[in-house]
Amino acid sequence: MTTRPMTTRPMTTRPAPVVVFDLDGTLIDTAPDLIATLNVILAREGLASLPYAQGRNLIGGGARKLIERGLAAEGRLAGAEEVSRMVTDFIDHYAEHIAEQSRPFEGLIEALDELARGGLVFAVCTNKLEWLSRRLLEQLGLTQRFSAICGADTFGVIKPDPAGLIQTITRAGGTLAGAVMVGDSAADVNVARAAGVPVIGVSFGYTETPIADLAPDHIIDHMRELPEAVHALLARPVPAA
């Protein structure tokens, strides 16, 4: 009797689920250092400082957008070259003061630990410049937690262009079908929608439009709620194409 050699099928490894975070207003409360820097720039232009509560909701589109919004709030018009000069000054000052007052939102570390124990990996997709994002996370001791850290200059696009989010997920080793976006603004909700990725909105971030009005798939009011929200969205059936 002849026996056939046993054949073994190659094992396929499923990519780990990826949680992609916005940075400012989602992972880190960066408003104190950003608004302080904005007010330094406004003062150099002979303009009054913006109140913290007002400036907080202007954050989210990168340094240029923040300066443009800050100037508009003071009733000041500026040409492209003038704004570019202010952006350079802003970045120079901000880079030196990037983590003086900025801190992770309460409960973030515990939430990341819990998700990591479940085999999930993390990435950052932000409209902040990549090197500034890395500097901030490094100074806060968080860099090693993220498989990918991608900013406005990483792929040459900014949110809500979905190309940046899609490439961030790929760089982190994940797939669109196994990813969740977490953010605080319209740019985050819209980029997730455009990429076909479910999105969690945080209610404690920086946005002039209430997060509920942006209709993310889930809203959390504290980072302690993040693991449950992530697992709930990852468990949803993937819609048929």
Residues of the chain with CATH 3.40.50.1000: 18-29+103-234
pTM of the model: 0.90
Give the tens place of pLDDT for each residue, 188-240: 999 999 999 999 999 999 988 999 999 999 999 999 999 999 999 999 876 55
The answer on pLDDT for 2 being more than 80 is no
Query: Would residue 22 show up in a list of annotated catalytic residues for this protein?
Result: yes
Cα–Cα nearest to 38, from 102, 91, 99, 77: 91
The percentage of the chain sitting over the pLDDT mark of 70, rounded to a whole number, equals 93
Residues of the chain with CATH 1.10.150.240: 31-96
Give the tens place of pLDDT for each residue, 111-122: 999 999 999 999
Of 21-25, 75-79, 110-114, the poorest mean pLDDT is in: 75-79
Average pLDDT of the chain, as a whole number: 92
| pLDDT bucket at 61, cuts 50 / 70 / 90 | confident
Look up the CATH architecture of domain 31-96.
Orthogonal Bundle (1.10)
Higher pLDDT, 11 or 208: 208
> Which residues are within 8 A (CB) of 216 and not within 5 positions of it... i.e. 6 or more apart?
183, 189, 192, 199, 200, 201
The answer on pLDDT for 128 being more than 70 is yes
Q: Among 3.90.1150.10, 3.30.70.1140, 3.30.365.10, 3.40.50.1000, what is the CATH number of 18-29+103-234? A: 3.40.50.1000
Give mean pLDDT, residues 72-96: 92
| pLDDT bucket at 166, cuts 50 / 70 / 90 | very high
Position 3 scores a pLDDT of 52
- CA–CA separation, 102 and 99 (whole Å): 5
- CA–CA separation, 235 and 238 (whole Å): 9
